[in-house]
Chains A and B, each alone.
Chain A
Amino acid sequence: MKKKSVMFLFIVLLSFFPVFTFSQDMTQLEFMSELDDKTAVTYGDAVKLFRYQTGIVSAKKKSSGAEIFMLEGYSESDTLTRGMAALMTAQYLDLGGSIMYLVFGMERYAYRACIDNGIMISDGSENDILNGPELLELFSKIDEYKGGE
């Protein structure tokens, strides 16, 4: 009887082995795939990507106050503008380069700081609405700026 239960336990553990070894976050990739087709993204979408980027996804870590990219006065359903994304990026990367951003810390100057650091391109205004591919490109640039793999 004891032998049988040990065998059973072993088979159960073995069947779950691939789940333990290859636990990758597929929801993240599904989310990015959906973003590819979005013509306008929200502040919530950007927050979600920043959380993937920083690895802060659990509620415990969220309460630690480490989410330096968060903006005040916006709800998750608000449409994301270039300026908002730039300010989140500038706060997250602690960007320098633009004196006006260092002094005022406004979206307009955060956008200039992102342009100066090669993270954004200067062919629009900070009030332009970002689409999905643009948001994903921004994260590629953030990764490049950080010297990622």
Chain B
Amino acid sequence: MKLLRLTIISLSIFFLTAALHAEITVIKVTGSAAYRQGKKWLPLKVGQKLPEGVKVSTGANSSAELKLNSQNHSVSIKPFTMIQVYSKESKTDTNTHIGLKRGAIHAKVPRKGNIKTIFKVSSPIATSSVRGTEHKTSHGHSFGTGINPQINTTQGTNRHGKTFYLSGNLKFHQRPNHGVPLYILLGSRNKSFARVFGHGLTPDEIASMLYSDDQTGSAGGDTSILQQHGLAKVNIGITFP
């Protein structure tokens, strides 16, 4: 009787635990992509099932895509990337955690019905949590961690708990050895304002001065036009944002 009870309990624990682990499946491989088994790297194959906590790495000009559970949550792994994947699911919720050691990934987390979804990507210095459906996360030794929302909202948090909600052009960037992330609109600001150097010249203007064959300014050219003085009318339109 005792043996029967023990068997039933063991079996139920086995089945319950098995149900917790989601199926991690390889859906696309380009170039050289591998998973770690013991101390060896073995090639990834399309359709292959991977165990919980698996480490995946991609080489130069290589990428891989993994399906993380039955809800079609997936991650696209960019070249020179190494990640570790944990994925659990039940009928009511999914819980995915990706450890990003280096490189970049693109996570797609579509929402279905009332399934409670936890999806986190952690680097050594920051964590992104999906509140929408798609985001890119990258991590490198010098640049640190970057989180870039693609669709809807993503949350970026550093190790000190400083959190930003990101959408549109807002980007989270946590540099190593810095207490706070960079200004989340920094990328947009840098795109909006051109870099200027001495005398207010842009790099293109300096390059054209150095390399263009400007006849009016050259020693042997016709410089008479430069000696003429006169008045010119100039219309200037100033737009304040």
Could you tell me if A97 and B203 are in contact, using CB atoms closer than 8 angstroms? yes
Interface of A is mostly: helix
Knowing A99-B203, A131-B141, say if A33 contacts B30 (CB, 8 Å): no
Segment at the interface with A among B16-24, B55-63, B107-115 = B55-63
Question: How many chain-B residues does the 8 Å CB contact rule pick out?
Answer: 35
Interface presence of B140 (CB below 8 A): yes
> How many angstroms between the C-alpha atoms of A144 and B59 in the bound complex?
14
Knowing A24-B32, A53-B60, A102-B207, say if A36 contacts B104 (CB, 8 Å): no
Chain B contacts for A96, CB-based, 8 A? 203, 207
Could you tell me if B141 and A52 are in contact, using CB atoms closer than 8 angstroms? no
Contact with A along B32-49 (1 / 0, CB 8 A): 111000000111110000
> How many angstroms between the C-alpha atoms of A93 and B102 in the bound complex?
22
Knowing A52-B59, A121-B143, A149-B63, say if A24 contacts B34 (CB, 8 Å): yes
Interface presence of B31 (CB below 8 A): yes
Chain B contacts for A143, CB-based, 8 A? 60-61, 78-80
Segment at the interface with B among A9-17, A61-69, A70-78, A133-141 = A133-141
User: What are 30 A-B interface contacts by the 8 Å CB criterion?
Assistant: A22-B45, A24-B31, A24-B43, A24-B44, A28-B32, A29-B32, A29-B41, A29-B59, A36-B102, A53-B61, A96-B207, A97-B203, A102-B210, A121-B142, A123-B142, A133-B141, A134-B141, A134-B142, A137-B141, A137-B143, A139-B79, A140-B79, A140-B103, A140-B104, A140-B140, A144-B104, A149-B30, A149-B63, A149-B78, A149-B79
